[in-house]
Chain A
Amino acid sequence: MNEALINDFKQLLAPYVKEKELLENITAETNLGDDLHINSSNVVDIVLDAETKYDIIFEDEDFEKLHTVGSCIAVVEEKLAKK
């Protein structure tokens, strides 16, 4: 997994994580809801932030994949590869 993207995501997720210490050791397997306690309604905000940062667009079907840090990064990598 791309370390730089993990670090990017740490920053992208930070505003939505109340307990900041949970961000310290995130890995590809870290679950947004179960591990970071991110409110599911905030996923749309994280998507908007990621779209702005990488200049990409998430499609409807991409939303279904956004469960872990790794699955989010996979979507971003796929979009970046197509650019």
Chain B
Amino acid sequence: MNRVVITGLGVVAPNGVGVTDFLAALQKGKSGISFVQEMKDLGLGCNVAGIPPFDDAILTKYLPESKLKGLQSSNIKYAVAAAMEAWFDAGLTINETTTDYDTGCIIGSGSPDITTLRWGIKLADKLESRRLGSAFVEQIMASGPSAYIGGMLGLGNVVTANSSACSTGTESILMAYNKIKTGDAVRMVAGSCDPSSVYTWGAFDAIRVITRKHNDNPTAASRPMSTTASGFVPGGGAGIFILEDYDTAVKRGAKIYAEILGGAINSGGQREGGTMTAPSPKGVQYCFEKAIKSSGISTKNVDLVCGHLTSTYADKLEIQNWSIALQRSGKDFPYVNSLKSLIGHCLAAVGSIECVAAVLQMHHNFIHPSINCEDLHPGIAEIIDPVCIPIKKIDQELNLVMKANFGFGDVNSCIVFQKIQ
């Protein structure tokens, strides 16, 4: 089995576009949540979201005019920008003429950009579907992002998309990890994206899982682990990794951010407490335990848990599940933080953005603040000591980080990152 390492990072997040800005935002504890007039105009209860400060001009570096002309979907724009950043960050170049059969990509998303879809449906309803143009199909394909990126980079291994709601990002990285581990690919572009579409967010508003209580104070809206958490804050973005076989990375002198030691993907089966929208505790614990076993780690060595922790009642349940799986509690619990406190819940994009954050924290030896939980939920305080949750940035040597995500459909993913030894 091959060792798998991370050699490139790319990110489009609500609090920073590009790794440099994103890292600075993490270190400062900068929130990317803002008031969104369009959500108010649609009469949504929640009027705040995490929208990346994305400038389309960045795409002119990567895409020809013919492609840019018809491209509307924010998820594809985010994925393209993040993937190209990651590719060049890994010190790789683009061969315009030949195909690289050793490299593939798995880029997931929750859905196509519903705002783009709406544009097309409106044309079709006006009996003008012939005016959709050549770029509509590729933007409503679930595999749109991977199809764009595969073509731009000339990838000849698997080029596909995964989709597992809010577990998508971590899942895509683990799927790519397995491809390299088994020798099926040498290098993989992996990650996820989700659009900034008020029409997607409206659907979450309708089932009352996003907060309605902080429209006048957006940066306080996403409150993972807080007593006053009242639902998550939606968002969009993308996070992309370049994963590589360790020997190949060393041979070409690549910068190595971290090694993926292992992980697990599973489902609670919507049984035993699990439903379409809530994870089965047993399923989550089984996922964590499987990830620990596959990585061969001792749980006492885990330095940081980058939680899913969405700012809902389920945060307490998650902490409980971690505590059971790690067999650690009180002051002995590792540090734990939630990136969602800073960027909201970027749905299918969030797992990969959080994985980028996890790796950056380990690479730069710090723990980003988990904001808005000054009023820690008492149920969480019963399980772990408040000192485990950094309200301010902590400079700390980190060697072993665990990260998990859960999604609608009762699906789970958990990944283990280690500093290269």
Residues of A within 8 A of B (CB): 14-18, 39, 41-42, 44-45, 48
Q: Can you list 11 A-B contacts with CB-CB less than 8 angstroms, sorted by A residue number? A: A14-B65, A15-B69, A16-B65, A17-B66, A18-B64, A42-B134, A45-B66, A45-B70, A45-B134, A48-B131, A48-B133
Report whether B69 and A45 are in contact in the complex, using a CB–CB cutoff of 8 Å. yes
Chain A residues within an 8 Å CB radius of B64: 18
Q: Which 10 residue pairs are nearest across A and B when measured between Cβ atoms? A: A41-B134, A16-B66, A15-B65, A44-B134, A45-B134, A45-B133, A18-B64, A15-B69, A15-B66, A42-B66
Selected from B65, B69, B133, the residue in CB contact (under 8 A) with A44 is: B133
How far is the CB of B81 from the nearest CB of chain A, in Å? 20
Residue of A nearest to B135 (CB): A45
CA distance A18 to B131 in the complex (A): 23
Interface size class of B (residues with CB under 8 A): under 10
Q: How many A-B residue pairs have CB under 8 A?
A: 23
Chain B residues within an 8 Å CB radius of A14: 65
Chain A residues within an 8 Å CB radius of B133: 44-45, 48
CA distance A15 to B55 in the complex (A): 20
If over half of B's interface residues share one DSSP class (helix, strand or loop), that class is named, otherwise mixed; here it is: helix
Chain B residues within an 8 Å CB radius of A44: 133-134
Chain A residues within an 8 Å CB radius of B65: 14-16
CA distance A48 to B66 in the complex (A): 14
Report whether B134 and A18 are in contact in the complex, using a CB–CB cutoff of 8 Å. no
How far is the CB of B119 from the nearest CB of chain A, in Å? 14
CA distance A15 to B176 in the complex (A): 35
Q: Mark B51-80, 1 if CB is under 8 A from A, else 0.
A: 000000000000011100110000000000
Chain B residues within an 8 Å CB radius of A45: 66, 69-70, 133-135
How far is the CB of A58 from the nearest CB of chain B, in Å? 9
How far is the CB of A56 from the nearest CB of chain B, in Å? 14
Residue of B nearest to A39 (CB): B66
Chain A residues within an 8 Å CB radius of B69: 15, 45
Chain A residues within an 8 Å CB radius of B66: 15-18, 39, 42, 45
CA distance A14 to B65 in the complex (A): 9
Residue of A nearest to B66 (CB): A16
How far is the CB of A25 from the nearest CB of chain B, in Å? 20
How far is the CB of A37 from the nearest CB of chain B, in Å? 11
